[in-house]
Amino acid sequence: MLKIGLTGGIASGKSLIEREFAALDVPVADADVIGRELTAKGGEGLKALVGALGSGILDSDGNLDRRRLRERLFADPALRRQVDGLLHPLILGRLKARLDGFHAPYALAVIPLLTESPASRALVDRVLVVDCSEELQLLRLMSRDGETESQARAILDAQAPRATRLGAADDILLNEGDEATLRHYVSHLHKFYLELAAAGDPRRPGLRLP
């Protein structure tokens, strides 16, 4: 089965593209969804975090206070690396298991940190990067999440540079238009990936849309 890794910067449109592929009956494994499962109350990941960082990361009901943790991580790169080291092996193990359980011509693995993680890259055959300008990312973060401009810039600065993601891409989808345009691009990619899967040719030269 051909495995496509979908990645992109925050607020670039990964979730929307994931939904469009899922609507075409493409099986999807999402690292963020798995991460939330692992850090839900009683989850293996949450136990690891509390063991390392203490109960101050929990709210009054014993759930992970995600906003508080995110603020700490963006303020402390060393702490962010520590948390990544705790959670990423757990997430990747479960992600691989889900991919292994799919039966389809191809599947989509949504991995936000794919270009930063060689272990993530090893799970997929091709990399699809959803891209948009940093100015548009800032606007979406401020509108969607209520972040201030300085907070939004700090979030972007904590991620891999846009050029790094684009340099790792086999295929690129520019997401700066409306949903109808994006749906058209996803349909085109879907046909392309079905062709690659049928031909057993995962390394064919990539697509740049538009």
pLDDT for 147 beyond 90: no
Query: How is residue 102 written in tokens?
Result: 């799919």
- Percent of the chain at pLDDT > 90 equals 88
Please state, in angstroms and rounded to a whole number, the distance separating the CA atoms of residues 51 and 167.
37
User: Is pLDDT at 95 greater than 90 in this prediction?
Assistant: yes
- Average pLDDT of 33-53? 97
> What band does 139 get if pLDDT is binned at 50, 70 and 90?
very high
Separation between Cα atoms, residue 118 and residue 138, nearest integer Å: 27
> Are 90 and 98 a contacting pair, CB within 8 Å?
no
Long-range CB contact pairs, 145-149, < 8 A, 24+: 145/11
107, pLDDT greater than 90: yes
Q: Is the pLDDT of residue 70 over 90?
A: no
- Give the strand order in the sheet containing 28-30: 28-30, 106-110, 2-8, 126-131, 171-174, 208-209
pLDDT digits 0-9 by tens, 166-198: 999 999 999 999 999 999 999 999 999 999 999
Pairing mode, strands 126-131 and 106-110:
unpaired
Give the residue-averaged pLDDT of 191-209.
96
Widest CA span in the chain:
54
In b/e form, how buried is each residue of 116-141, taking b as 16+ CB within 10 angstroms? bbeebeebbbbbbbbbbeeeebbebb
pLDDT band at residue 154 using 50, 70 and 90 as cut-offs: confident
User: Euclidean distance between the first and final Cα of the chain, in Å?
Assistant: 27
* Average pLDDT of span 83-96: 96
The rounded distance, in Å, linking the Cα atoms of 141 and 152 is: 6
Using DSSP's 3-state secondary structure scheme, residue 51 falls into helix
Q: Of 44, 33, 30, 41, which Cα lies nearest the Cα of 90?
A: 44
Domains of the chain: residue spans and CATH: 1-27+105-210 (3.40.50.300), 33-101 (no CATH)
Q: Which two structure tokens, joined as six digits, stand for 17?
A: 């593209």
The tokens of 116 are what? Answer: 């930063």
